[in-house]
Amino acid sequence: MAMTERTALTDQSEGMSYLNSLPRRVMTVYLPLAVFVFVLLFPFYWMAITAVKPNAELTDYKNFSPFWVVQPTLDHIKYLLFETSYPGWLWNTMVVAVGATFTSLFTAVLAAYAIERLRFKGSRWVGLGIFLAYLVPPSILFIPLALMVFKLGLYDTKFALILTYPTFLVPFCTWLLMGYFRSIPYELEECALVDGASRIQILVKILLPLSVPGLISAGIFAFTLSWNEFIYALTFIQSSENKTVPVGVLTELVRSDIYEWGSLMAGALIGSLPVVILYSFFVDYYVASMTGAVKE
């Protein structure tokens, strides 16, 4: 555990002394790392291998090794894509996630700019309020929100989700963008102000182009959060054609008598792919947004 601090030393000065302790390094670093990686990734492997296993192999552990597949099949995926509403759920999730993300980004850019740069009266308190809003969990809000959604006539529509997801996205994005705006030199704006630019021109032409990385971070994170959201989607959506992937997979693919593990795992895997692909392209932005939100 305490080996870590040597990083800096191995890097710079006394690399030689660590040649001696290679076995020790294997025991304290590589072995635990291997165990961690194995445990953290095994469920994904298990998902993938189950998704392509024919039903005969799936539960027959005597004749087939469960860790491998002898005759891979695409039946489960075919079933999922052509005989269930799964493609529709994917589409719904995409629409809701994109809609909620852009709404939140737009709202958050304006709010963060106002709090961080316009410094209107009471902006400190508003900033604190935004942070506190971030701490309100959806599990407390879903009951009153369900009532509101019902009264507004939005029950069982995608709008219910697009309008409610910003409740946890806006505070997060605003908080992240506030930190990002703070890192951009104020002098740039002063120059523009002196040259007669309006506040909106400054925001659109100077601040936003400079904060593209921050916007990507916030956007990726917001998209992932809306893609993964469950409790609102479970509560506000009833009909199969409006469900999102997490809700659809859980409520429609699971039937009480027989579990179709193959198609369930295929559904879980394909439902995870969009966020994983997005994440793999923007790992650094994602990490930046996660740690950025924590560090502030």
Evaluate whether 161 touches 232 at the Cβ level (below 8 Å). yes
How many residues lie near other proteins (CB under 8 A)?
108
* Segment 120 to 149, residues that bind other proteins, using CB under 8 A: 120-121, 123, 126, 129-130, 133, 135-148
* Segment 262 to 281, residues that bind other proteins, using CB under 8 A: 264-265, 267-269, 271-272, 275-276, 279-280
**HEC readout, the chain:** CHHHHHHHHHHHCCCCHHHHCHHHHHHHHHHHHHHHHHHHHHHHHHHHHHHCCCHHHHCCCCCCCCCCCCCCCCHHHHHHHHHCCHHHHHHHHHHHHHHHHHHHHHHHHHHHHHHHHHCCCCHHHHHHHHHHHHCCCHHHHHHHHHHHHHHCCCCCCHHHHHHHCHHHHHHHHHHHHHHHHHCCCHHHHHHHHHCCCCHHHHHHHHHHHHCHHHHHHHHHHHHHHHHHCCHHHHHHCCCHHHCCHHHHHHHHCCCCCCCCHHHHHHHHHHHHHHHHHHHHHCHHHHHHHHHHHHHC
* Segment 19 to 48, residues that bind other proteins, using CB under 8 A: 29, 32-33, 36-37, 39-41, 43-44, 46-47
Evaluate whether 164 touches 190 at the Cβ level (below 8 Å). no
Token output for 115: 């709090």
Evaluate whether 236 touches 214 at the Cβ level (below 8 Å). no
Evaluate whether 157 touches 95 at the Cβ level (below 8 Å). no
Per CB under 8 A, the list member of 5, 83, 195, 257 interacting with other proteins is 5
Per CB under 8 A, the list member of 24, 78, 119, 205 interacting with other proteins is 119
Does position 52 bind other proteins by CB under 8 A? no
Among 70-78, 112-120, 178-186, 204-212, which window interacts with other proteins (CB under 8 A)?
Answer: 112-120
Among 81-89, 170-178, 180-188, 205-213, which window interacts with other proteins (CB under 8 A)?
Answer: 170-178
Query: Shortest approach of other proteins to residue 79 CB, angstroms?
Result: 16
Does position 210 bind other proteins by CB under 8 A? no
Query: Shortest approach of other proteins to residue 82 CB, angstroms?
Result: 20
Among 2-10, 75-83, 179-187, 211-219, which window interacts with other proteins (CB under 8 A)?
Answer: 2-10
Nearer to other proteins by C-beta: 235 or 242? 235
Token output for 252: 């429609």
d(CA 184, CA 188): 8
Does position 291 bind other proteins by CB under 8 A? yes
Per CB under 8 A, the list member of 66, 88, 179, 213 interacting with other proteins is 66
* Segment 214 to 243, residues that bind other proteins, using CB under 8 A: 224, 227-228, 230-231, 234-235
Per CB under 8 A, the list member of 118, 128, 188, 191 interacting with other proteins is 118
Per CB under 8 A, the list member of 57, 161, 171, 172 interacting with other proteins is 171
Per CB under 8 A, the list member of 85, 164, 211, 263 interacting with other proteins is 164
Per CB under 8 A, the list member of 95, 213, 250, 252 interacting with other proteins is 250
Query: Shortest approach of other proteins to residue 254 CB, angstroms?
Result: 8
